[in-house]
Amino acid sequence: MKIRRKKRGLKWGLREIRYWLASVGLGGFVRVIPLLPFKWALFTILEKIGTKVGWRLATKYKKKMLDNLTLTFHDSLSVEEKERIAQESFSTMIRGFMETIYCIYTFRTRFDPLIGLEGRKNLEQALAQGKGVIAVTAHLNTFTLIGTKLSASGFPNTWILGAQTHPRIAGVWKWTTEKAGSHAIIIDSPIRFHKAIMRTLHKGEIVIFVCDENQKQGGVLVEFLERTMALPAGPAVYHLKTEAPILPIFIIHQGDGGHKVIVDSSLKITLSGDEERDIFTITSQIARCIESTIRKYPGQWSWISKRRIRTRTRRKAFLEETANSRS
């Protein structure tokens, strides 16, 4: 049988050039930071300029953020409050990017003293079970500092980097993550990906999943922030395989300019014996926990996700069943 080869025309070539330039630019920016003088003062200047200029220019993102805030909070917030939250969220994204880059080189001298760790006992008790820990978090505040703080506190951890737009970009983020003190697993080959996660959990370490993004394929349909989204099935799947406890972990920006990593207690999960139903139940619990934290700190979460969600999954029946039981 003749194997068809994927055509690589002009469109493919332009795409490769674009991502090559993006990866070189991002990688160069990350590497040039330690060469710049007055790094901390420069960070403050860039954050303030980026927020003021970017907010005026980002009309598309501004509209999307305000639409999402309206979809979630309806009329419980005034127009002015939604505008304030959207602007704070935009500023958080700018600061988060800068902090992610700077923490690679100045974490112990600049960031570590500014980040507290609350709930250390919850993490130690979960790790004491010897099954590893499945940490779930969201794009809340500078979430990338969670792994760095845990590593500096003596807790080895590995980030699950979702499917990236291009392998070159994925390589830059993997390098950045590992340079900051954590490990990273990229979703590429399903077999390698699965083995890497199981190996990390069997070593009794922490695997961190970011669970607030819609999955185009294979997600679990749940209600999240007043919409139906397909959230990652990974935490539920690996909990059923290993019995590793699931811990919500978030990082919250403090009024004094610092941060606090908050480790909640393990989720209390009741299993039914039906694997698909249990995956839906666990993912729904994770969604409720993340949603509750976002509603508590709305200005620290990214509100730029698409309003109309498209996905392909086979677990919709459980969501419809839950909705019917409530009505």
Write out pLDDT tens, residues 102-150: 777 776 666 788 899 999 999 999 999 999 999 999 999 999 999 999 9
Q: Is 209 helix (H, G, I), strand (E, B) or coil?
A: strand
Write out pLDDT tens, residues 207-239: 999 999 888 777 899 999 988 888 999 999 999
Write out pLDDT tens, residues 201-213: 999 999 999 999 8
List Cβ neighbours of 289 (8 Å cut-off, separation of 6 or more). 136, 248, 264, 267
- One-letter amino acid for residue 216 of the chain: K
CB hemisphere CA count around 212 (13 angstroms): 22
Write out pLDDT tens, residues 151-202: 999 999 999 986 555 666 667 667 778 777 788 888 777 888 899 999 999 9
Do 63 and 83 touch, CB atoms closer than 8 A? no
Distance, in Å, from the CA atom of 113 to the CA atom of 260, rounded to the nearest integer, reads 11
Write out pLDDT tens, residues 38-90: 566 666 777 777 777 888 888 888 899 999 999 999 999 999 999 999 999 99
Continuous H helices in 263-315: 275-296
